[in-house]
Structure 1
Amino acid sequence: MTLRSAPVTRLPAVLALLAALLASTAPWATAADAPTVSLSTSRAGTGGTITVKGDGWRPRTLLMLLVCGQSSPARGVVGGTNSCANGDGRAVTTDARGGFSRKLPVVEPPRPCPCVVHVASVTGPAKTRSDAVLVVAGHPVKPLPAESEGRLSMVTDARLDGSSGLLTWFGSPPARTLTFTVGNVGTAPVKDPVFQVGTSHGVFAPAYEEQQWRGTVPPGRKARIELPVELTAGAHGNYLVSLKYGGQVLAEQPWGVGRPWGVTLFWALLCVVVPAAVFRIGMAVVDRLRPRDRYVPGRHRGAQRLAELTARLPKARPPRRSPRPAPAQDPAGVAASPTTTLPWFTPDTGPGATTAGQLSAPPDDSRTTKGNT
């Protein structure tokens, strides 16, 4: 009994040892909950280069590195990306452990310092950021605005309103209205806030455009805001609409756009109509240049050719009839009935008759053609 129970008593200790070994060989298991950013130097002049390193980020994630003014690690980029040197930013992709190392040129941001190196994720379901303080030598410094200013935050129910019409089916730019509710969590009213609305397709980063909302949000109050969103003509597929304010992404809404089948139908009809029109024009030109004195069979010239041949035929004339002789009359004035005259004799005289009307032989006292004058 003792030999059989010994392996069972040692099993928990073996499992604990394996768990400790796995924890020591998996550095990502002990990584920090929030991503971190460190700089090779916290002070540099314009034109120099610093090395930015990060740890604790999501593996295989695209990050954007920017030098921003009017910012702090606690409050982030107060003025949004308009306070950053966007043209001199750099992109980097984290490795399998969530770390990265990238050189970044030192430039003067559009806003005065305090300045930071702002690192934010571009891809991924959740947007993360981290800032590191950087002193840009020679750049002006201005205190950050007081915390008493108004600050907007996203509340709920962001959605895209609207539908596609008939013109969209023929390639017109699809348009929607981004409707959302924001709340002022500051102590001062926010007047005419400027939002950034961007659209992205596939794996591409969103292209943001600034849109200003006319109105005032009192402190501790909410406001319903509507902003127009429009894509390019002929756009179709799956899009993502993003909303930013103060450098923070407030909402993201998917947008599925159907294919403009009207454009496809138009090109299909064009491929049929144009060749048919060219064929008809060519046939008309050939008909114009065709010689007229040569008969060429065809449906459109058959009736005309038949009329020409009919006009050339001689006209049929009725046969001439000789006038009938008037019937002979007897001395009493009664018309004699017509009789048929035979070449040698008549009904009244036979071949042997000797009357003056016989035709078989001439009389004796008649003149002949021989010897008579």
Structure 2
Amino acid sequence: MKVAIVHEWLDSYAGSERVVEQLLHLWPDADLFTVVDFLPERERGFLGGRVPRTSFIQRLPFARKHFRKFLGLMPLAVEQFDLAGYDLVLSSNHAVAKGVITGPGQLHVSYVHSPMRYAWDLQHQYLKQAGLERGLLGAYTRWQLHRLRHWDRSSAVGVDSIVANSGYIAERIRKAWGRDAAVIHPPVDLDRFTFGEAREDFYLIAARMVPYKRVDLVAEAFRAMPEKRLVVCGDGPSLPQVRAAAQGAPNIAFLGHVSQAELVRLVRTARAFVYAAEEDFGIGMVEAQACGTPLIAYGRGGARDILRPETGVLFPEQTAQSLQEAVRRFQALSLAIRPEACRENALRFSVPAFRTRFRDHVEALLRERVPA
């Protein structure tokens, strides 16, 4: 059986690339296709020496630094990949990869990290943040996103089986494309996040300082709870706003960027890990649970897939008041939340669990296609 794996673009080794890494492990003889490949040499280890086949966008002027600006050409680019000789096509999609053309004799399974957020429900937020709400460039961008939405929905028709990385993404797929999706959570490397039982009296948040992470909300909530200590790890453009929300509260410590070893130590000893963002999935929450650390998380997005009643507390509204109430509920329940239960919960999202579930899903689809 000939297998092709299609990925959007390679410029860093991040969450979606970890999925591709596992697909290459499951189908080591597969050929890899990607719109562009500008992955640094130091991050290419997971490719195992493979040289991906790229599209014409790879050769366009300024593509190395500005390939995302060619998003409008990417549907055309993926449609040019000749996959006629492959029995199984696996796409790793957060933008255009699922749009490859396959025939009736081929099985196409698409693992979807998310539909294009900026083209669907987050369009207005994207335009506002990019300063494109008005003017000719803004009008052109809206037209491009309009075209992308039509192509995005129509190209979903050609996929035989859609797999979402969380129940939240399955809901977004149903809304955007009108398709049902199986849910197989992404692989999380749990080996680095080891189990710990000794707890210290502090709460932890570790995140990139960008607006949607809502670290400012966490700082505001703990500023109003001076008897509870909060440790904040991370850096980014929203750090000044987060510090302003803390207003110099003595119970809030900012550590900035910390090493991986120090982060693991903090997660293993925190009383609870706090998460206020609405995430597609939320790998950081799984890593905290792997350390035996309870969660206090906003109850939308991937947190609903990850957290169980015996491993933490959800808060229903993205407000400081709702988070404060969740902290009080957590304190009342904390003795009933065992670190062992948190670790066991995290194992549902391990690399072996992903491999087993995804391989079984594909093999079941292949068996269905074999004539009786």
TM-score scaled by length of structure 2? 0.19
TM-score scaled by length of structure 1? 0.19
Question: Greater RCO between the two (CA within 8 Å, min separation 6)?
Answer: 2
Larger strand proportion of the pair: 1
Larger helix proportion of the pair: 2
